[in-house]
Amino acid sequence: MAVAILLIMLGLIGPIASVQWRRDEWIPAGRWVMRTLSPHAVAGIPLAGLIISMIGLSLLWPPAVVLAFLGAIAFVGVLIASVNRGGVGRLPAGLRPPQQARPVERTYQHAGQHRRAG
């Protein structure tokens, strides 16, 4: 029973971390996750924490295994959505990389495109 309670409490760190990142707190931990794993992992941490909590709950109440599997499917869905839509847009503001100015696009005229006046 102690292991189940420990897993449930450890799993709650994921959603708490997401709230803290949105408040611009725990930023070094979020940057460590981005550097070590990927920016997409930051988007999935709340669900990963819930999965760990559901595993702990399933030790106390066996039907909670279904909730853990549903959470795992949702976790994969969040990762896929993060990759397809660009992970930077889903990151909290404190974890987004500084935006760099885009290079100015140059337009080149070909020799045959000049018009003669007259």
For 29-64, the DSSP string reads HHHHHHHHT-HHHHHHHHHHHHHHHHHHHHHHSTTH
- The domains of the chain are located at 2-93
Identify the H or E element spanning 26: none
Counted residue by residue, the chain has a size of 118
Question: Is residue 22 a contact partner of residue 92, using CB atoms and an 8 Å limit?
Answer: yes
Tokens of 81: 């959505």
Residue with tokens 């397809």: 84
User: pTM, whole model, 2 decimals?
Assistant: 0.73
DSSP assigned state of 97? P
Give the SS3 label for residue 76: helix
- Kindly give, in sequence order, each residue whose CB lies less than 8 Å from that of residue 45, ignoring residues fewer than 6 positions away: 14, 17, 18, 33
Which pLDDT tens digits describe the chain residue by residue (118 residues)? 899 999 999 999 999 998 998 898 988 998 898 889 888 888 889 999 999 999 999 999 999 999 999 999 999 998 888 888 766 666 777 777 766 445 555 555 555 565 555 5
